[in-house]
A and B are shown apart, each in its own frame.
Chain A
């Protein structure tokens, strides 16, 4: 099953380090070159589904003194890394086919 763009990008973002929601959104926006802006509804809706399917986990709130207590941090799980790897492989082969057929080097 292929991952939706939101799922893929959130997993990619968390693959680098644990982040809170706003951090994920900022990171995704940065590495997608601004093409994917995750709004709060989409972001947390996707986070909810990722939590449910065990691809990421909730680390809870940070120590009050060093951050906004409303923020919670999320971490990618081993299952999440596996799903990401599978998806990346699938994308790579798709990309190869696309490159060949579109002759865009």
Chain B
């Protein structure tokens, strides 16, 4: 009954005032006498509702009554009629379809990427139970790799997890013995890993707990990809041995094709057991931990439990764990966190462009409907029911939307394929994006929604057509302001949305150029990088590793086309980041856990020369620094000192960057000062170099020191080869130089250093390019919209303008009138748009580099630009208005 009172409000007020009380009384009385059963009551209210729907339209003057002779019309007739109308205005129709295809297509494409990357659950059973468990070292370092002494304790003490597993990416494996040597992506895992992920091998078995034991780790599981590409999908592979780093490993299983551990970045080729006494490597932070929460345990509860465990470990082993917390994050969030903000930003932007497109199409169809009012009036006068006319308009909108939607889906397919092709591997899970059923549904929903808008906007006009007036006055009415507010609103909205998209992309574009202009402090041009990883046999000692790289430097250096060669433990701006705890000699020992840390790299003598990193003072490493006792860093106190440690030999030395010099030796020269790294002997500083951004383009590296590969040999180095002139021939030369020493060594990731540096900004660049494309689309659509609207309004006002001119108005005044009309609309849109842009830019603030979200220059220049474009779009119609001939206009009346 209350509902019925509410419904009554929908009748026109006079009707409601006059009959409302009587109607309520009647419904009450009828309800009282109606069948009390549920079915009876339902029938009663259904009848009331039907009566309401029929009569409210009638009282509102919306007459949908259909002459009974026309009642049975075939829907196919509507479509045929609509097709006729569409064909009669081919240009307009093509334009509308194109607009829709563009907006629906790009929105669907972005949606399908967002869906694949952000929305689709991970391909594991109960994926919401999977979490990454990081070690938290203070607020700045919430995702540190987990200490080797901590993981076994976590695993043993925690109750929140069904299982936990550790993963390590610290070793490299080269596959030999079957064709060219190949460097494998080979995470080492504890046997629980596959149970945590909940995935069974497609052949063979997973690792057993026994294979976690030291000495039992010579087993391997293959990825489906490697099994197919290197072993021809051999069904008898399980049980056979393959050669990893020259050692036989028995294949125990093959994982299914879609199995991946996405946080790893590169899809693993093989998995091997960690199989080492993890708990002994105290203080070594090299594990990733993934866990499966028990059913019903929330992340917050697990976090609370782990906080307690971390606190007790910290009190038991303060020298290794003081200040170490735990940070539990859902696996899905970890995978997409790097891109979710960028994707949502793009999604927002493309959604706004879609809205602009819709405004435009609505505006166009509104204009057309207005020009067709007379035709519709004639149809109504000739006996076509308004329902019939309305159905036909809806059919027209539907036809346009279907065509636009279909074209949009095709465009989206192409765009998604393009996106997958141009950003390989940069965006997790992107390769899963496709125009699937969900994306199709999304596109269909978009199309349906726009079709409704297209159909209904003119429809609202049709049902109000006053047939007699329309036929009497024809199209030359004076002030037909009825639809003006809606049209103006559409334009204001268009300008506003354009301003939002354009300003946000303007801010991003600026910060992108700033990132590109950042001087990394090293020269990447003309350098080829290559990864070389030495297997444990025959390179089982630091001495053997150093001997290999010395020989490699000599061979490469002597090759044609090579200017100089160096090596580093981590390629500048590659993916690796390493920081290590240090202690400055002569300073009071910090409390355990509070040690300062610094980034570090192990480099060869010529590193600074090849990369052209200038020295501020001191000297680079030389052959005179070659030590007998290597390496110098010990990771835990029980580790044996290397042989010849006490023999007379050159002291350990380091080169530091300016930031490190400033941080620890402010106002004095650090040359000759000493510091220790973990359990190393004191290391003397011999040189200071300028800072480089060798971790990423936009982050300051901070304090960093370099050790010499003569003192801290590595089994894995990236060669950096500076070409004499062209880098084209360098890769082949490097390969043959390495293979002339050891035919079984893979030379991996041979590519220009500039490419690695560029990969740093590739996702950012893709975002900026797309945002700019959306901004251009928005601006073009907005200009078209303004042009169409001003043209139409001006055409409608021709008579008024003619009168004004006849009454003595100057032609310049007329132009001003028209332009001001446009400018006012644009200004309102720009003001609202600036506010919207600020909101969006605030959301994207972390993607801005040295540009504030409220950067006034960007806002001002884009406001001017948008205003200028709107004015330019209004210019041509304004000139037309100026040329109106009052005599002919008035005579035609």
Taking beta carbons and an 8 Å cutoff, which residues of A are in contact with B?
20-22, 25, 37-45, 47-48, 68, 70-72
Residue of B nearest to A39 (CB): B51
**What is the bound-complex CA distance between A23 and B27, given in angstroms?**
12
A contact patch SS: helix
Among B19, B21, B47, contact of A39 (Cβ-Cβ < 8 Å): B47
Given A22-B29, A40-B27, A40-B51: A45 touches B58 (CB 8 Å cut-off): yes
Whether a CB of chain A sits under 8 angstroms from the CB of B59 is: yes
Given A37-B47, A48-B15: A71 touches B22 (CB 8 Å cut-off): yes
Among A21, A45, A48, contact of B26 (Cβ-Cβ < 8 Å): A21
**What is the bound-complex CA distance between A11 and B443, given in angstroms?**
54
Given A39-B47, A41-B56: A48 touches B22 (CB 8 Å cut-off): no
CB distance from A30 to the nearest CB of B (A): 13
A68 near B19 with CB under 8 A, answer no
5 A-B pairs (CB sep. < 8 Å): A40-B51, A42-B55, A45-B55, A45-B58, A48-B59
B26 near A22 with CB under 8 A, answer yes
Residues on A with beta carbons closer than 8 Å to the beta carbon of B54: 39, 41-42
Whether a CB of chain A sits under 8 angstroms from the CB of B587 is: no
B23 near A44 with CB under 8 A, answer yes
Please indicate which of the listed interface residues B22, B23, B56 has the most CB atoms of chain A within 10 Å of its own CB.
Answer: B22
B25 near A68 with CB under 8 A, answer yes
**What is the bound-complex CA distance between A21 and B24, given in angstroms?**
11
Residue of A nearest to B33 (CB): A26
A48 near B19 with CB under 8 A, answer yes
Given A45-B55, A47-B19: A39 touches B25 (CB 8 Å cut-off): no
Among B18, B48, B58, contact of A40 (Cβ-Cβ < 8 Å): B48
A22 near B30 with CB under 8 A, answer yes
Q: How many A-B contacts are there with CB distance less than 8 Å?
A: 61
A39 near B50 with CB under 8 A, answer yes
With contacts A39-B48, A48-B59 known, what are 6 further pairs, Cβ within 8 A? A21-B26, A41-B52, A41-B55, A42-B51, A45-B59, A48-B18
CB distance from B61 to the nearest CB of A (A): 12
CB distance from B42 to the nearest CB of A (A): 15
Residues on A with beta carbons closer than 8 Å to the beta carbon of B26: 21-22, 25, 40, 43
A44 near B22 with CB under 8 A, answer yes
A71 near B50 with CB under 8 A, answer no
Residue of A nearest to B48 (CB): A39
Q: C-beta contact mask, B27-43 vs A, less than 8 Å → 1, else 0? A: 10110000000000000
Given A39-B47, A48-B18, A48-B19: A70 touches B55 (CB 8 Å cut-off): no
Please indicate which of the listed interface residues A21, A22, A72 has the most CB atoms of chain B within 10 Å of its own CB.
Answer: A22
Residues on A with beta carbons closer than 8 Å to the beta carbon of B52: 39, 41
**What is the bound-complex CA distance between A22 and B29, given in angstroms?**
8
Residues on B with beta carbons closer than 8 Å to the beta carbon of A41: 11, 23, 51-52, 54-56, 59
Residues on B with beta carbons closer than 8 Å to the beta carbon of A70: 21-22, 24-25
Given A45-B59, A48-B15: A40 touches B47 (CB 8 Å cut-off): no
Residues on B with beta carbons closer than 8 Å to the beta carbon of A42: 51, 54-55
5 closest A-B pairs by beta carbon, nearest first, are: A39-B51, A41-B55, A44-B19, A40-B23, A70-B25
Residues on B with beta carbons closer than 8 Å to the beta carbon of A21: 22-23, 25-26
**What is the bound-complex CA distance between A20 and B22, given in angstroms?**
9
Residue of A nearest to B21 (CB): A70
Please indicate which of the listed interface residues A38, A43, A45, A68 has the most CB atoms of chain B within 10 Å of its own CB.
Answer: A45
Q: C-beta contact mask, B292-329 vs A, less than 8 Å → 1, else 0? A: 00000000000000000000000000000000000000
Residues on A with beta carbons closer than 8 Å to the beta carbon of B50: 39
CB distance from A70 to the nearest CB of B (A): 4
